[in-house]
């Protein structure tokens, strides 16, 4: 089974690109972020025509997450628990039945957090605290769980082209990286780093300053796996070539092959 995550940076602007990718890569489950569409306007029919069941947690103009699955959804949960006042659409969980039992998959889009001297940084850290609490509760179920998404966190110095450039940025601040490490300490495995420690393995290149052409990238899109999911991990591929397509997102898909 192929499980993918990709921040598409707007379904309206990128629908043809996403359709082409789905046809070529053919993931069984695709977790998308920044769909930038309310649920009722999301062009689900185009994706359903490719054989996907589609569930979204959308928001007008920004944010928004989705899960496409060739498996039917047994259950869908929208919104990260812990703050009833948080109206930002950044979290959706799908539950599926497989021949090997239950599979839980989350598409998440963590807050950017910049500028750090605004209320956006405390919101980011608070969101990560809520994610950690929720994820630890899910771990108690002892089921395969994949937390897939744009974390807006650069975990280690080797996950960016030049750490000095990112000093002080919310994506690289010690508080953000520490919150990401707490997931690992709870028992989650960073899928990509479980299979490779290769340098310059990036998932995002800014549109500005020739970042793509210079390979000035960062790794902020991650698949974090519960122990039961990590035991089924076979391989991980960063589909870097998609960044070179016409009208690309500034992110690329990260795809895990898993034994389900």
**CA angle 25-29-30, nearest 5°?**
70
Query: What are the tokens at 229?
Result: 């999911």
**What is the pairing mode between strands 254-258 and 91-98?**
unpaired
Q: What are the start-end ranges of the H helices in 39-186?
A: 44-48, 120-139, 163-166, 174-186
**Catalytic residue list contains 159:** no
Q: CA-based Rg of the chain, rounded to a whole angstrom?
A: 17
Question: Of 8, 30, 14, nearest to 250 (Cα)?
Answer: 8
Considering 52, 109, 151, 172, which one is annotated as catalytic?
109
Question: Of 202, 196, 147, nearest to 171 (Cα)?
Answer: 202
Q: What are the start-end ranges of the H helices in 26-75?
A: 44-48
Considering 52, 159, 202, 251, which one is annotated as catalytic?
251
Extract the annotated binding site for Mg(2+): 7, 34, 150, 152, 250-251
Query: What are the tokens at 206?
Result: 């800014």
Extract the annotated binding site: 7, 34, 150, 152, 250-251
**Catalytic residue list contains 119:** no
- Give the 3-state secondary structure of residue 226: coil
**Catalytic residue list contains 241:** no
Q: List phi, psi (to 5°) of 133.
A: -65, -45
Strand arrangement, sheet containing 145-150: 75-78, 91-98, 101-109, 145-150, 221-225, 189-190
Considering 28, 150, 190, 221, which one is annotated as catalytic?
150
Active-site residue set: 109, 150, 251
């Amino acid at each position: 089974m192929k499980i993918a995550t990709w921040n598409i940076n707007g379904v309206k602007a990128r629908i043809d690109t996403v359709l082409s990718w789905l046809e070529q890569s053919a993931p069984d489950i695709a977790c998308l972020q920044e769909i930038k569409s309310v649920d009722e306007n999301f062009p689900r029919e185009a994706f359903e025509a490719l054989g996907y069941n589609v569930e979204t947690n959308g928001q007008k103009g920004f944010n928004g997450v989705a899960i496409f699955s060739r498996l039917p959804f047994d259950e869908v949960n929208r919104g990260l628990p812990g703050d009833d006042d948080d109206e930002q659409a950044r979290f959706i969980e799908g539950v599926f039945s497989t021949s090997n039992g239950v599979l839980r998959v989350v598409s998440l889009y963590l807050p950017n957090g910049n500028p750090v001297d605004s209320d956006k940084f405390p919101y980011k850290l608070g969101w990560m605290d809520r994610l950690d609490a929720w994820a630890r509760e899910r771990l108690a179920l002892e089921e395969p769980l994949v937390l897939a998404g744009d974390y807006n966190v650069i975990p280690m110095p080797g996950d960016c082209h030049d750490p000095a450039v990112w000093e002080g940025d919310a994506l690289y601040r010690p508080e953000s990286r520490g919150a990401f490490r707490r997931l690992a300490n709870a028992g989650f495995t960073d899928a990509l780093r479980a299979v490779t420690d290769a340098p310059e393995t990036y998932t995002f290149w800014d549109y500005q300053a020739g970042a793509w052409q210079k390979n000035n990238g960062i790794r902020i899109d991650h698949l974090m796996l519960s122990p039961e999911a990590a035991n089924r991990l076979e391989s991980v591929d960063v589909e870097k070539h998609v960044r070179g397509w016409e009208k690309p997102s500034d992110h690329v898909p990260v795809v895990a092959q898993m034994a389900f």
